[in-house]
Amino acid sequence: MKTDELAYLDWLARVDALRTQLAQWAAQPVDWEPLRPAQALIQRLLSRMEPLRVRWEAPLVVATFGGTGTGKSSLVNALVGEDVSKAGKERPTTVRPIVLAHVDVDLSTLQLPLDRVDVVRSDLPLLRDIVLIDCPDPDTTETESESTNLGRLHELLPFCDVLLYVSTQQKYRSAKVGEELGKAAESCRLVFVQTHADCDADIRDDWRRQLEPTYQIAEMFFVDSRRALAEQREGLHPSGDFGRLMTFLSRELAATRRAGVRKANLLELLDQGLRRGIDLVTPALGALDDLEDAVVRERRKLGAKMAENFGRELLACRTLWERRLLAQVTQSWGMSPFAGLLRMYQAQVMVLSTWWLFRSRSTAQMALWGAWQGAKWLGERQSLQAEEERLSRLTDFGIDPAEFRSAQVTLAGYVHAAQFHRDSASDERLDGEAAVAAAFLNEASQKLNRLVDRAASRNSGWWTRLRYEALFLIFPAFLIYRIGRNYFYDSFWLDKPLLDLNFYIPSALFLFLWGAAFLWRFVTRLRRGVQSEIQELTRSLSESAAWDELFRPLSVRCRRARDQVAQLQSLETTVQALRQSLEDDSRLGGRHARV
Amino acid sequence: MGNGGVVLADLAGLVRQLHCALVELQRETACLSLESLSNSEWFEILERKLLPQLGEDAWLVVAVTGGTNIGKSVVFNHLAGFRASATSPLASGTRHPVCLAPTGFETRHDLATIFPGFSVQPWTSADDALKDGERDFLFWRTSPQVPENLLLLDTPDIDSDAPVNWRRADAIRQAADVLIAVLTQQKYNDAAVKQFFRKAAEDDAAVIVVFNQCELPEDEAYWPLWCRTFCDETGLKPEWIYVAPNDRKRAEALTLPFYERHVPDASDLRSTIDRHPNAGEGPLPPPSLQETLSRLRFEEIKLRTLRGALLHLAGPKGAEAYLAEIRLASGEYRSAAELLTAQRLAEVDHWPTPPTSLLIKSIQEWWAQQRAGWPGMVHALYNTVGDWLMAPVRSVNTWLSGPTEPPWAAYQRAEWNAVVRTVEKVFERLEWLSQLGHELLRRHLEPVLAGTARGDFLERLAREHGEVDFSRELERLVGAELETFRRENPNYFQFFQRLDAAAAAARPGLTVALSLTGIGLPFGEAATHLASHAVWQTALHVVGDVAGGTMAAAIGDTAISSTAASGVAYLQARFHRLQAAFTTSRVAWLAERMERNLLGPTTEHLARAVAAPQTPAFQQVEASLKEIRGALERSGCALREDLLSTGEDGHAETANLNHSESLRG
């Protein structure tokens, strides 16, 4: 008993937790439109859950359900053994629902609309555990309103726990009744009864075949209500299937089974509601996929474009290239005649390129120029806030504003089709491109540094250096020899005159030409192979991770919407698990749990 | 009666004409996305009843109808006199109609045209009708039991969970003249049953009610009540009523008695059936239902049901409703089109001006073409020499500053930027329009607004933009504009020509002067060439800057009107006009592309939909309908709102012409 109670409390706690989760899900802010109807549905579901929770311990409400003329009232009369509900031959007979309750039962706990039903009190033992309702039919009404039988039936169904589904040979395949049963069975257990056993053939097998795809059926009864009523009146226990039905009802609907029935009903309701919520959202997921794909596609397109522009600009910045490469080489070579020559040339190029940097700036130049100046320049640029300026700034990063805007226009179409809230979409349209630029520049600088290192080290090995130094020294050495010999030997010993300007001016000219030739040769050598490396660099940059930052807010919103759908699905799984964990030895029917 | 028959037969041609026009109209108004005609009751009646039956000699289609598992097939088998249709205690057995025809009927008539839409198959066994499947079959056989000129049909149910059965039953109902409504205590007031027979009442079909599975004698007190409810709910007035007991054994043995009963309210009686002499005098001897069929007044019923069908067709719930629907839908489209066209989709601003240097170049080229005689030769010579001299300078400059982009690239980029900005605005506007709440407009705009459509449009636009030859465009414009200038202001033109000639004269003079001062050729020549270019450029650059501003138009106007205006002011105005004309032509280019590639299909669709009520097919339908209505009125059938003719005058006629005598079996 103690364990039972604990298990029951545990179950209640799980239901409460589920309820809280559902409430949280339904109350969270969403900006993806298709989620809104699902949220509204869950809200309604929560309000439907409430009465089920409140009347947890009250007697089960058992109602008749079936087409007109199938003998619902006769069945009720036969069950209680007296004429409480008028059975007739004019259709429909029952217009006002009749509620049969035990004298001791407090009907107020059931929250029934007591002003619109007739209440009959009785002290029958059967009614100690249940409240019986004779409901109107669902199939004589063409257009539903409050004053029609279908309207009255719909009003009562939310309060019912078990339906006695009554049918006949004529009506067991009626489309209208079947459709209404589908709706009613969402939160009710079912008992299947074929009446008119006195005059109709037994169609239970065919009936079962029709119902089995949708419902789980343990028992089906084939009863003769008229004979049962007569037997009851004579004080006999009804014979045949009717007797079996009465035993079945008193066993399955006993007080100890209440919780089980209501649990099953509650979970059924939740399961159906969540499924429908998921069904509401699912068709819209396609547009969400499209949007995400489009974001990736546009990113890639812009990235490729930007990398391409970047590569083109790199190739155009010849002077800067030379400077970087020369700086790298001289740094590793230290002091020597040829290195000195390189240094001199580099200093002169430096002046030129500084001037160029101030004249026109581009990402490629920036990357070549180096991180320190680049960061300063970037910070300066980022302080501009207006949209137009931000757009024009894109040009500096190698993105054509028109290119970017085209992507935006296209994406706006996908955003529109995916039914995202438009306002917030336009707010964040240009966000993040500064981060993209920074990330891109960073990555490009690093890759360029590596590229320059590689190119420089390839051309500054000791053998190369030795050759260049040695060959370059030939002419200066010759000059020094010539001047030295003239000064120390010829003029001292042979009294020849010292060399005059006519010697030095051509010598300087030839030295200059000699140096220039070597410089030209060496710089050409440095540049060799760099072009193909730049193309390779462009390719790798077009697949850079930096592009993931483009249109980031859109991706975030997509992911959030997806998460919210996933939450709904996981709630559904929880309900399914709870349904399966429900140990049910009940023989009552109901809808199949959907898999 | 005979007269009425003749008129109806005459209508056959008109009805065929109407049908053709309707089919044509449906095809033409596909753009309105209305519901298919074959879903509307009146059109089904036109196709299933009027087309096959109008103008033919009279035969009656009698159909046994009702809910599932209430003994339709039992009643049918009793009428047939043998087990023509399988019966079973399980519901929804009969899937396809079964037709019994009098011997020799098939030689005179084609059953496939009488029952269009059905695949007509000869009957082989009672189980034929139980076949599953989507295809609509109709099984038939001849039977000597069936009265001459009568087709007897068993139909699928109208209320089970197999909607395909309802559809087939509806199709037979639409073709039928007489319905044998099989009802039971459980089903006489069911929603599905009431809906089915209400439609039959609207077409004025003759109905024989059979209350089956009654518990006699206690139900004798109830059937009048059931009948009253059924008639009140459906609006039917049964010709005859039978009551059959619930006796499964006799039903199986085909010996079920059908007791003839009076219609409860005598005023509801109709006179299309000759009364049985023993009617209402107790259950014995039970007259056969079959006999009743043979007592039907064929021609009269035929006339009545055809007339009912025609009244339905010509009445407010018939083709007229379809025309009204088209008008309404077309009106909706009109309002959508108005909404779309009333909106200015985008203001074009920040459109780039064409590069001044290129504009000047093309003016120069044009001017060069206008030069004639010696000044032209002098200028051409000097320009060629100048260009040749400047060539090394230019190449050095190119080497120093890296490769330069082609002259129009910058403009093209700027213009593309403006194009995309405009497209963006247009899409924003369209999105706003789509969300205005005009459902129809929304439906048409949504596909245009989708991401893929936008991407495709932009891609196509980009491709077309890339193919534009700007310099030719400019050349054409400059040519046209300056030509107008020359035509309209010959004085100014001459003035400029004289100036130009003077310059041509001065050029050799300058050369001589330069060589005298020692600077000499070729540097002096290059310098003058550069200088002359620079003068043009600066002069027109200033003009260009002014022209780019908003004040240019005003300045231009005064320049043209003022006689004191200097040549430069005049040039400024012309120049501004050139730039504006170029921009206008570019904007027009964009507008044309948008019209064609973006909104074209939508506006075209809207226009077609708006014009639907003006199409010949529409007017043909209207005219045919009017004629049919006129003919019906002439024949004495007043068109009534409720489509139920009391047939007062028809009855008066039939009293005199009792054809049924000859039809008695």
Q: Predicted ipTM?
A: 0.71
Distance CA B326, CA B32 (A): 8
Q: Is B216 on the interface with A (CB under 8 A)?
A: no
Would you state the pLDDT for residue B530? 54
Distance CA A531, CA A511 (A): 31
Distance CA B167, CA A21 (A): 47
Give B178's strand partners.
Answer: B62, B206
Q: Is B520 on the interface with A (CB under 8 A)?
A: no
Predicted confidence (pLDDT) per residue in B494-542, tens digit:
777 777 777 777 766 666 665 555 554 445 555 555 555 555 555 444 4
**Phi, psi for B197 (deg, rounded to 5):** -75, -20
- Taking the CA of residue A429 and the nearest CA in chain B, the distance in Å comes to 13
CB pairs under 8 A between A and B: 149
Distances (CA, A) of B482 to A233, B365, B366, B495, B575: 116, 12, 8, 15, 10
Asked if the model's pLDDT at residue A209 lies above 70, the reply is yes
Tell me which amino acid residue A184 is: A
Q: What is the distance between the terminal CA atoms of chain A, rounded to a whole angstrom? A: 34
Question: Which residues of chain B are within 8 Å of residue A430 when distances are taken between CB atoms?
Answer: none
CB contact under 8 A, A199 and B190: no
Would you state the pLDDT for residue A324? 74
Asked if the model's pLDDT at residue A222 lies above 90, the reply is yes
* Selection from B89, B175, B106, B98 nearest residue B129 by Cα: B98
- Taking the CA of residue B216 and the nearest CA in chain A, the distance in Å comes to 13
Would you state the pLDDT for residue A25? 93
- Taking the CA of residue A516 and the nearest CA in chain B, the distance in Å comes to 18
The band of A583, judged by pLDDT with boundaries at 50, 70 and 90, is: low
Tell me what the mean pLDDT of segment A511-530 comes to. Answer: 85
Predicted confidence (pLDDT) per residue in A45-90, tens digit:
998 887 777 777 788 999 999 999 899 999 999 998 888 888 888 8
- More confident site: A511 or A90: A511
Closest Cβ opposite residue A410 in set B160, B215, B458: B458
Asked if the model's pLDDT at residue A312 lies above 50, the reply is yes
Asked if the model's pLDDT at residue A112 lies above 80, the reply is yes
Strands (DSSP E) contained in B87-239 are: 98-101, 119-122, 137-142, 150-154, 178-183, 206-214
Residues 538-577 of A with CB under 8 A from B: none
- Token couple for B639: 């068109």
Tell me which amino acid residue A234 is: E
Residue-wise DSSP of B8-53: HHHHHHHHHHHHHHHHHHHHHGGGG-PPPGGGSHHHHHIIIIIHHH
The band of A187, judged by pLDDT with boundaries at 50, 70 and 90, is: confident
Distance CA A74, CA A225 (A): 6
Asked if the model's pLDDT at residue A223 lies above 90, the reply is yes
Would you state the pLDDT for residue B566? 46
- Token couple for B484: 């107008």
Distance CA B198, CA B173 (A): 11
CB contact under 8 A, B451 and A411: yes
Would you state the pLDDT for residue B663? 31
Give A420's strand partners.
Answer: A32
* Selection from B79, B316, B31 nearest residue B202 by Cα: B316
Would you state the pLDDT for residue A556? 87
CB contact under 8 A, B402 and A316: yes
Question: Which residues of chain A are within 8 Å of residue B219 when distances are taken between CB atoms?
Answer: 89
Q: Is A293 on the interface with B (CB under 8 A)?
A: no
CB contact under 8 A, A400 and B413: yes
Give A193's strand partners.
Answer: A166, A221
Predicted confidence (pLDDT) per residue in B135-145, tens digit:
999 999 988 88
Question: Which residues of chain A are within 8 Å of residue B345 when distances are taken between CB atoms?
Answer: none
CB contact under 8 A, A174 and B413: no
Contacts of A336-343 with C-beta under 8 Å, sequence gap 24+, read A336/A465, A336/A469, A337/A469, A337/A472, A337/A473, A337/A476, A338/A465, A338/A468, A338/A469, A338/A472, A338/A473, A338/A518, A341/A472, A341/A515, A341/A518, A341/A519, A342/A519, A342/A522
To which residue do tokens 């100036």 refer?
Answer: B499
* Selection from B526, B539, B535 nearest residue B383 by Cα: B526
Distances (CA, A) of B221 to B150, B218, B227, B246, B280: 34, 6, 11, 16, 14
Verdict on whether the full-model pTM lies above 0.80: no
CB contact under 8 A, B187 and A171: yes
CB contact under 8 A, A69 and B451: no
Distance CA A16, CA A31 (A): 28
Predicted confidence (pLDDT) per residue in B138-181, tens digit:
999 988 888 888 889 999 999 988 889 999 999 999 889 899 99
Distance CA B191, CA B210 (A): 18
CB contact under 8 A, B226 and A290: no
**Phi, psi for B140 (deg, rounded to 5):** -135, 155
H/E run at residue B146: none
CB contact under 8 A, A140 and B189: yes
- Taking the CA of residue B132 and the nearest CA in chain A, the distance in Å comes to 15
The list of chain B residues with pLDDT below 50 reads 1-4, 266-285, 520-522, 539-566, 639-665
Sign of the Cα torsion B273, B278, B283, B289 reads negative
Residue-wise DSSP of B574-624: HHHHHHHHHHHHHHHHHHHHHIIIIIHHHHHHHHHHHTGGGSHHHHHHHHH
Would you state the pLDDT for residue A3? 72
**What DSSP state is assigned to residue A589?**
B
Would you state the pLDDT for residue B284? 43
Average pLDDT value for chain A? 82
CB contact under 8 A, A170 and B416: no
Distance CA A206, CA A400 (A): 72
B344: burial class by Cβ within 10 Å (0-12, 13-18, 19+)?
exposed
Q: Is B649 left (phi over 0), alpha (psi -120 to 50) or beta?
A: alpha
**Are A155 and A113 contacting, i.e. CB atoms less than 8 angstroms apart?**
yes
Asked if the model's pLDDT at residue A562 lies above 70, the reply is yes
Q: What is the distance between the terminal CA atoms of chain B, rounded to a whole angstrom? A: 22
Residues 426-465 of B with CB under 8 A from A: 427-428, 431, 446, 449-455, 458, 462
Interface with A, mutate which of B159, B452, B457 (most A CBs under 10 A)? B159
- More confident site: A540 or A363: A540
Closest Cβ opposite residue A409 in set B225, B417, B423: B423
Asked if the model's pLDDT at residue A130 lies above 60, the reply is yes
Interface with B, mutate which of A169, A202, A312, A406 (most B CBs under 10 A)? A406
Closest Cβ opposite residue B159 in set A174, A203, A413: A174
**What DSSP state is assigned to residue A254?**
S
- Taking the CA of residue A294 and the nearest CA in chain B, the distance in Å comes to 8
Asked if the model's pLDDT at residue A567 lies above 90, the reply is yes
Distance CA B40, CA B18 (A): 16
Tell me what the mean pLDDT of segment A230-250 comes to. Answer: 90
- Taking the CA of residue B200 and the nearest CA in chain A, the distance in Å comes to 17
At B152, is the secondary structure helix, strand, or coil?
strand
Asked if the model's pLDDT at residue A30 lies above 70, the reply is yes
CB contact under 8 A, B454 and A410: yes
Q: Do you know the residue count of chain B?
A: 665
CB contact under 8 A, A90 and B229: yes
CB contact under 8 A, A170 and B219: no
Distance CA B245, CA A424 (A): 73
- More confident site: A349 or A341: A341
Question: Which residues of chain B are within 8 Å of residue A171 when distances are taken between CB atoms?
Answer: 69, 186-187
CB contact under 8 A, B427 and A67: no
